[in-house]
């Protein structure tokens, strides 16, 4: 069974290099010295993710990503990452970023959360953004 899987809930991810992205996510865990068992990315709409946000986190707002660490121990990472493709498109448009790069950022962001990176305060957010940029650069330079 593959360690990184993409699933679709009410919307389809149309992005080039899907298999390369999945393999690269595995490399992130290797680079970060974390043992990945499996990760399920579930791509969905704003409304679907809002329902999850309300039900599980008690938050009543749209978000681009929710990461659930389902690991039973820290030696084997298991996660579910829900990503709103609607939100990614809106964010990419509002910050004038190519949709492809913003999609990569959010995919890698979820993996980085499972590797232990946080983003709840300004200092942690800067570190997270730096790591996202690092991995986007490594990926785009390796896939060209």
At 105-122, the pLDDT tens digits run 999 999 999 999 999 999
Longest dimension (CA), the chain: 42
* Residue-wise pLDDT tens digits, 42-58: 999 999 999 999 999 99
Integer CA distances (angstroms), 82 to 38, 111, 128, 143, 144, in order = 14, 11, 18, 25, 28
In the chain, which ranges are E strands?
4-8, 36-44, 65-69, 77-84
Residue 118 · residue 94 · CB < 8 Å? no
Q: Is the pLDDT assigned to residue 73 strictly greater than 90?
A: no
46 or 144: whose pLDDT is higher? 46
Q: What is the pLDDT of residue 74?
A: 76
Whole-prediction pTM: 0.95
Q: Where does 4-142 sit in CATH, by number? A: 3.40.390.30
Are residues 85 and 43 in contact, defined by beta-carbon separation less than 8 angstroms?
yes
| Euclidean distance between CA atoms 65 and 68, whole angstroms | 10
Structure tokens at 45: 């709409």
Residue 142 has a pLDDT of 85
Specify whether the CB–CB gap between 85 and 52 falls below 8 A: no
Whether the pLDDT of residue 143 is over 70: the answer is: no
Instruction: For the chain, give the mean pLDDT.
Output: 95
- Burial of residue 73 (number of CB atoms within 10 Å: 0-12, 13-18, 19+): exposed
């Amino acid at each position: 069974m593959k360690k990184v899987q993409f699933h679709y809930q009410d919307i389809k991810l149309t992005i080039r290099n899907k298999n390369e992205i999945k393999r690269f996510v595995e490399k992130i865990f290797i680079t970060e010295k974390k043992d990945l068992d499996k990760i399920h990315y579930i791509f969905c709409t704003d409304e679907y993710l809002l329902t999850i946000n309300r039900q599980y986190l008690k938050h009543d707002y749209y978000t681009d990503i929710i990461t659930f660490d389902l690991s039973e121990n820290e030696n084997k990472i298991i996660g579910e990452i829900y990503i709103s493709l609607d939100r990614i498109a809106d964010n990419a448009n509002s910050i004038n970023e190519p949709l492809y790069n913003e999609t990569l950022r959010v995919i890698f962001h979820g993996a980085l959360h499972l590797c232990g990176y946080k983003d709840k305060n300004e200092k942690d957010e800067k570190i997270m953004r730096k790591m996202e940029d690092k991995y986007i650069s490594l990926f785009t330079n390796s896939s060209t």
